[in-house]
Chain A
Amino acid sequence: GAVVSQHPSRVICKSGTSVKIECRSLDFQATTMFWYRQFPKQSLMLMATSNEGSKATYEQGVEKDKFLINHASLTLSTLTVTSAHPEDSSFYICSARDRGGTGKGANTEAFFGQGTRLTVV
């Protein structure tokens, strides 16, 4: 299957600093990538859809100025958590679907990065 790589896997930062998380599709091009957040023992919550070459689409309740998303190429999306606070501590995970250049790919499985465990102290 397709491979999505996410980096770093774990990061600890001080309150008030910013953290950048990278998500790469290694063997396919992804015009769209997705960022999720997962609190302990809870499910994946979609934060935003990252669109190559255009602005990200954020889900209701997600602050776009706090969670900056950049999708500068067909294989890379980045999520920057700005001015991080302890309540931002969570598991962040990206995904992409290999649409093969046809249609929306609604029937294709989503491949996930390894996730990033962010701890803000």
Chain B
Amino acid sequence: GQNIDQPTEMTATEGAIVQINCTYQTSGFNGLFWYQQHAGEAPTFLSYNVLDGLEEKGRFSSFLSRSKGYSYLLLKELQMKDSASYLCAVNNQAGTALIFGKGTTLSVSS
């Protein structure tokens, strides 16, 4: 089955940089997703990595190492509105549904 591990909580200050790590073990691999979820709201898509390396998208970047079963989400120039839960996800074995990690709750303070 799919197994995903990420830290439960992280804290940071405005303007800082934070890295949220995710490790995974999967039966087959066809990409890793990062989602942001504010409390009581639907998750929103941040990034998708299927090849090794860094994908940059504005203040957010995501890195993947398939050999290590490892990814991270890098958030730069943190803002208060970045306080949210960040979810790492991979496809299920059938490649149809997303299986999510437990999420990392990020608290940004001033």
Chain A contact residues, CB within 8 Å of chain B: 1, 32, 34, 36, 41-46, 49, 91, 93, 95, 97, 104-107, 109-115, 117
Residues of chain B with a CB closer than 8 A to A115's CB: 40-42
Q: With A and B bound together, what is the CA distance between A44 and B103 in angstroms?
A: 9
Residues of chain B with a CB closer than 8 A to A113's CB: 42
Chain B contact residues, CB within 8 Å of chain A: 30-31, 33, 40-45, 48, 50, 87, 91-92, 94-103, 105
B contact patch SS: loop
Q: With A and B bound together, what is the CA distance between A36 and B91 in angstroms?
A: 14
The smallest C-beta distance from A8 to any residue of chain B, in angstroms, reads 14
Of B40, B98, B103, the contact of A110 (CB 8 Å cutoff): B98
Complex: chain B residue closest to A107, CB-CB: B31
> Are the CB atoms of B97 and A112 closer together than 8 Å?
no
Q: With A and B bound together, what is the CA distance between A65 and B102 in angstroms?
A: 27
Interface centre among B44, B48, B92, B96 (most CB of A within 10 A): B96
Of A43, A45, A104, A112, the contact of B96 (CB 8 Å cutoff): A104
